Each structure stands twice: as C-alpha cells, then as structure tokens.
Structure 1
C-alpha cells in the first residue's frame, strides 16, 4: 500500500500541468483512512513526502514546513490537504537532462516552492533598461518588465518577456538586490532563464517584507515610502496655508501622481543620480509659490550694475522663503539650517557642472547618496510643517496617523526582515 501511495504521489506531481500535489482524499482508494494516516505519517518522518495545507494546496506556494508542523496538519485532518513528493525523492526520479535549458523550471520540477524567492544582482536589469523594446517599471519596492506595444509583433518569440513582478531585496552588506519568485522566472523563455541564471546570487539575501505582503499576500502595508511621505507633507503644508488665510506654499503637491524620476533608481549611475537631483529641485525650489509671500516681504530688490545703473531684480524662491520664515518664526539657526541646508544643497548639486562630465559612471555609492539626500530633504520639509503647526489658526489641524507616528520607509538595510519571518507571521 505504501508503494502504491508513493507511486500515485510521484506520478501525479510529474504528470500534472503545474507540479501539483494530490489530495489526501484521492489517496483513500489505496487504504482505509486510519491506514492512510499511518502511511503518510511514516513517509513524512522518512522525508519521502511533504504535506501542504494552504489557500490552494494543489499549488506548493511556500517552502516545506518542518516535519512537526506537517504532522500537526495530518493529526488535525481538516480541510483539503495535498501530498507532494519530497525533494530527496524527486532527485531520484527526474531525468538529469529534463529542462536543462530552463534552470528555473527545473527547480520547480525538483520540488522547490512556487513562491521561493531567488535573488539577483541589480545589473540583471541592465539587459532590459538598455533595450528600447522593453518597458521596465519600478516603484518603491516592486516593478515589472514588459514589451512596449509598438515592438510586440516584431520582437522574436524568445524575447517576448512579461515578468509581472520583481521586488527589492538586500544582501548581508545591506546592498539592494533584485528578488523574483521562482514561479515567474519559470515562465520566461529558455534563453532569458539562462540570462537571469548568470546573475543569480548564492549569498544569503533577504526580501523586503513590504514587497511580499503587498504583491504576494495582497495585504496593505503599515508603512509608507519616504517618497509618498514627502508628497503628503506638501499636501499638509498647503492645507495649513488655507487655514492661515494664505495662498499655497507649493504650487503642486504631487500627492496623486509622483514625477517619474522621483523614486529609488535601481541602476546606480551618475546619470540616474543627476536625474533624481533635477526632479527634486523642481519639486522644491521651482515649486515654491511666490504669491505666498506677497504682502509680507518684498519680492524684488534694487541692484546696482557695474555701470552704476540701478535695476530691479526678482528674488529667488529659496531666498524669499528663508526671509519670510525667519521673519515669522523665531528659533535658533540650527532649525533653519535643517530646512534650507538640504534645499540649497540640491540646488547646488543641480547646477554644479562637474557632475555633467561623465554621466555613465556606475558606482554603488550613488544609492547611498540618494538615500542620504532624500532623508535630508524629507526632514527639511517636515520641519516646515512643524513650524507652520505653531500658527494659531493651524493648531487644531490633524495629519494622518502614519505621518504623525513616522511610519515611513526608505527601503535601506536597517529596515528589512527575513522571508521566513514574513511567511510565519502571515
């Protein structure tokens, strides 16, 4: 009876469309319920089979549970439970040449979980970033790769890639890496599976928990990216301006739609860093509304030219805001430096011609530079909100709880959890 059960488990797995498990119910034709439970228990202990009880147990989504957890499922015997051949058994039955040109599909065949995370160097995406036929989208912690509509008919079948999701991970040094679930990798063409396989990392890496919770479990995350948080600060400051009876400080708040380059760039090049600095300067310095200061301070000043003629010039937005804030808000210089230091730094970085010499420079330090810059800028804009909150007309204004509590992510090395912790906590 044991051999018949094992043969049924293995044949069902190998002959199924998607490496599926067989239900305990379907195995009852080989033995009575009690006999079957004894056989299954023995096979689990000998690492011949594994049990899955999940939303869809016919698909092995996650890595094998510990033996004691599987035995608990067997003992409870509630709902649909599916049986899979253990990896050790599959290595004996699977032909060594099967799916050799599709390494990720072969991993599934050999018993790996559909949602097992596979980690890669960031440079694996260069093949797609540098090819105009592909559209690579990425937000704060996830992204996708697809073919642009105008190239779909002309692109060879082997290159018709549709990777519906990839996410952020981190190696032990805290450097960002790319993570893709095995299932999605197995759907790539053999040629592209082999390309990805050359960038596969063997070192221990961790997956960002927000990616797993949001994209795989379909759950809302409890945190907000620092990029969205900055846009929310713009919105809240403008709401405060209304209460103060003044025009908005910022012409746009970008709350509904962030600029395209206002995000973590995955390729750490000087060009990407410069593009980020440019968009940040546009969102801050060029976004300050001069009408906010009208009637409070002079918007222009007289300036004497070399020929002695006096001309009227417009004051810059940064200067206007600093003059206005210093006239209205009395505190130490350190507070003003936290606001205007980063704003002026971004303006300087944008205007510095030394940064335009070679924009093809590739260096991981540009990730650190971006992380540091966005943090400084967020603190600057947050301090503007805190200053405005002291206005008598604003003191009753409430901001979102997540903003008040600072539940904000930068997606850096000190914020991640292990894949196992995320799975076990959900």
Structure 2
C-alpha cells in the first residue's frame, strides 16, 4: 500500500519530467541556450500550486534542473553555483517572478542533441551547461595568428582586447567564411606566479567558427588562473576599472612631455608620442623567445632614445663635439641623443636627491645597450619563460624613466603656471604593470 508521501513523490517526479521536456525544448530551440521562465509554464501547469513549487524545488535538489534568479535570468551567466545556494535563493526569492529554469548538467551530458555541436568545442560546452560568462584561459601565442595577419583588426590595451576581420575582407572571396570571425572581447589572466594568459568568456568563444574554436581549444591552459582585476571589474561588475595599463601610461607620458615642451617654448622633445596610434607590438610578449624580446627592445629604444628631437636642446647644450684626429685635424661629430639629454638635465636641474635622475639616465643607456647586443652576436631563437619577467622589469624601468623626465619638465615656471591636463590615474600612479 502506497503512503501519501510516496504518492506525492511519484506526482512530483511525473511533474518534473514533463517540465524538464519543456525546459529542454526551450534550451536547445532558443539558439542561445536560454532558460524557461516559470511563468511561461502556466498554460500547462498550475505554477502557483504548492505541489508544482515543491516539484521544482525537488528538481533542483535532485540535480535534474537548475535555475537563475538574478540579472538577466534568460541566460545562465555562471555555472558554478552549488545547489544549496540555489535552494536558498529559491526559498527566499519572490515566486515565480522571473526565475528561469534550465536542464542540469547531469541531464545534459547524456543528451543526444549534443551531437549537433561536436565540431564546435565551445558551443558544445554551452550546450552541456557551461555559463555564458564562465571563462577559459589560453597560451598567449594563440593571439599571434591574429596580431600578425593584416586581414584582422587586433586591438588591446593589455587589459582588454578584441579581434575582428577587417571591413575590406568581410564577406570577401579573398578570405574563407570560416576565417571571417569576430571575437568581441578578450582579456588577460594570471596564475599565482604571475604567469600570463589570454582569457575569453565561453559566450564569445562559441561565436567563433568551428575551425577557429578548434584552434583556440588546442591552446587552452587549465589551472588555478584568475582574471586580471580590471578585466573582471569592467566585464563582470560593470565598472570602469581602477587603473590604466603601463603601455598606455608610457605613451601618455610622452604626450605630456611634448605638451610641456611647447609650454616652455621649445620644439617637442619627442618626435612622436605614439599616443594616437600605439604600435601593436608595444605590449607584453606573446611568446617568450630571445627573438621576440630583441624585437621589443628595438621598438622601445626607437620610442625612447631614437625618438628624442635634438632641436629641443639647441641653444641650451652643444649637440656636436669637436674631436682631434691623430693628424691634428678637427672633426665635428654629432652627439648621441642620450648624451645630449644627460647634459641638458645636469645643466638645468639640480635636485636634492639625484637618484631618480641617475636611474632615469641608466635606463635610457640600458635600453640602448640591450638593443646593440643582438647586433654583435648571433642568438638562436631560444624559448625561455624567464623572458616574460625580464621584459616586465624592463617596461617598468622604461616607464619610470619617462615619468621622471615628465616630472623634471613639470618644474619649469611656464609649466607650473599653466600645467597641461593630466589623466588622474597617471597623476596618482594608478597603473597596472601586469
């Protein structure tokens, strides 16, 4: 003889099986793996009854279905909530309100409907119940293909980034349709040792063509890897972030120095601030090789020493020197930009603590020395994870050098009386160096 409890459980099981069928039809038929709002089940179920509500709760508890309660509930943003948390929300939220139901991952993993997505690894992950804003992390080298291919627009501030096919190649016979992709946003992430990775939300990975999804899947790295704090803040929390990247800060310092140069009544100290168009290679390395590091050193020296405008120093310090040859003849030689800069700073600026200036000049010389090294010896294209750290240290030193130079010019009376606008984060030193 069946008890009332057994009858209730049997009825609950019957109800949840019927509900699950409708939820799965919605989930796979929506095109975006959307949830089923409880209120849309009102045509076939008495959704306000205690029995129905009890059946839904039991479905969550038994991991047959799951639910979303906050924000845009029609998409499952995250998949990591424990059922205890879901049940707490279910019991405390206004019912049915906008609660949306989904098939649980335990149910989805056995669905024959997954075969449709077998060639698209990240669309398959969504189909199996991953959250739209769950993220995956990848080796940095996955970005090289897009950065180095002129058919793609590759943009990043080294916190956020995006990739898209250039307009002239969109729907063009010159590029296969599978390569005409858009990655709306990517960011960066770090492990506990500050190893650096690319991070992408599964929603955007799933929008790639099947061919490109497989490329990314081959580069995926698993582990305890956390999103860059500002990428998390802007993408998940909807804030503007807290700092700017050191590469953006670097070119903004060059721009400020040039503005101050004009206020002083001189030509711009740097021939190009690169603020309007920062070189795409001016950023953290995508592959830790000697060759990539040497290319970066060459670029940063071009942006520092090679970029100095000698006309700024005319009438202040000599830009040429006289040298006597063995035969007694005098030869006029042009001084190097670092030598000229050092002479000018030493002539006009005498701080109580000379260390920052000494450090600034040492960095200019260090970058030039590193640039000259590859010219005098043959380097194999060695792969070394330590190069990431070496580059980061160089970038920090280079930024400190141009910032010190900006602060030197800021002491000129013309600049003090009419200072240019300075990015508040730059002024406060709120800069990410990771």
Range of TM-score over shorter length:
0.7 to 0.9
Partner of 1:38: 54
**What is the CA-CA distance between 1:131 and the residue it aligns to?**
6.8
Cα gap change, 1:303 to 1:150, in 2 (>3 Å): same
- Unaligned residue ranges in structure 2 (runs of 5+): 1-14
Q: Distance in 2 between matches of 1:379 and 1:309?
A: 42
Aligned pairs (5 A) from 1:81-100? 81-94=99-112, 97=115, 99-100=117-118
Q: Tell me if the contact between 2:272 and 2:307 (Cα under 8 Å) persists in the aligned partners.
A: yes
Partner of 1:122: 140
Partner of 2:35: 21
Q: Does 1:205 align with 2:205?
A: no
Cα gap change, 1:198 to 1:56, in 2 (>3 Å): same
TM-score w.r.t. the length of structure 1 is: 0.85
Partner of 1:357: 378
Deviations 1:202-255 (A, max 9, x none): 322112232344456664222111111112222223333344344332233222
Moved more, 65-74 or 278-287: 65-74
Deviations 1:360-408 (A, max 9, x none): 3332232222211110011111112223333344445363321222110
Moved more, 322-331 or 162-171: 162-171
Deviations 1:331-356 (A, max 9, x none): 45533321111111111222223576
Cα gap change, 1:83 to 1:258, in 2 (>3 Å): same
Partner of 2:395: 374
> Could you say what secondary structure the match of 2:109 adopts?
helix
Deviations 1:47-70 (A, max 9, x none): 332222354322212224344553
Partner of 1:405: 428
Partner of 1:309: 329
Q: Distance in 1 between matches of 2:373 and 2:123?
A: 49
Q: Tell me if the contact between 2:41 and 2:47 (Cα under 8 Å) persists in the aligned partners.
A: no
Aligned pairs (5 A) from 1:165-314? 165-214=185-234, 219-314=239-334
Q: Distance in 1 between matches of 2:377 and 2:104?
A: 56
Cα gap change, 1:131 to 1:291, in 2 (>3 Å): closer
Cα gap change, 1:386 to 1:14, in 2 (>3 Å): same
Q: Distance in 2 between matches of 1:279 and 1:45?
A: 58
Q: Distance in 2 between matches of 1:337 and 1:113?
A: 52
Task: Count residues in correspondence.
Answer: 411
Deviations 1:6-48 (A, max 9, x none): 3322332233322110011112331142434333333323333
**What is the CA-CA distance between 1:288 and the residue it aligns to?**
1.8
Q: Tell me if the contact between 2:157 and 2:247 (Cα under 8 Å) persists in the aligned partners.
A: no
- Unaligned residue ranges in structure 1 (runs of 5+): 412-426
Cα gap change, 1:6 to 1:155, in 2 (>3 Å): same
Q: Tell me if the contact between 2:155 and 2:280 (Cα under 8 Å) persists in the aligned partners.
A: no
> Could you say what secondary structure the match of 2:184 adopts?
strand
1:343 to 356, 360, 364: 364
Q: Distance in 2 between matches of 1:159 and 1:250?
A: 40
TM-score w.r.t. the length of structure 2 is: 0.83
Q: Distance in 2 between matches of 1:127 and 1:235?
A: 31
Partner of 2:6: none
Cα gap change, 1:299 to 1:99, in 2 (>3 Å): closer
> Could you say what secondary structure the match of 2:304 adopts?
helix
Partner of 1:105: 123
Q: Tell me if the contact between 1:51 and 1:84 (Cα under 8 Å) persists in the aligned partners.
A: yes
Moved more, 237-246 or 305-314: 237-246
Higher Cα radius of gyration? 2
**What is the CA-CA distance between 1:129 and the residue it aligns to?**
6.1
